[in-house]
Amino acid sequence: MQNSRVYVFLAGLDSHLDGVRGRVLSTVPLPNIQSAYAIVCAEANRQEAMLGSTPIEGTALAVKKSAKKGFRKCNHCNGDNHVIDDCFKL
């Protein structure tokens, strides 16, 4: 079930994130949805910082929709809208 969520999430990414999609898919074992989301967000932020404004509107919309469904739940503090990599309580 968790793997299928990762596949659906990665399939919805824009083409400028193909590289990070490949990196996540080649990870053994496949990361959970929270880790995949954190990896993709880090790459999108890196690209935006390095290249300036990039066309990430489609990705941002997909992320907002996923966040509303509860995909971003911290395993450390059980807080919403962040993952353990971004947990402020650590």
Pick the closest to residue 59 from 76, 47, 51, 77 (CA basis): 47
Tokens (6 digits) for 60 = 């941002």
Overall number of domains in the chain: 1
Q: Domain span at residue 23?
A: 2-86
Model confidence over 22-36: pLDDT tens digits? Answer: 999 999 999 999 999
Q: Do residues 17 and 9 touch, judged by C-beta distance below 8 A? A: no
Does the global pTM surpass 0.85?
A: no
Q: What whole-number percentage of the chain has pLDDT above 90?
A: 41
Q: Tokens for 15, please give them.
A: 């083409």
Residue 12: in which H helix or E strand, if any?
Answer: none
Helix (H, G, I), strand (E, B), or coil: what is residue 80? strand
More reliable by pLDDT, 12 or 58: 12
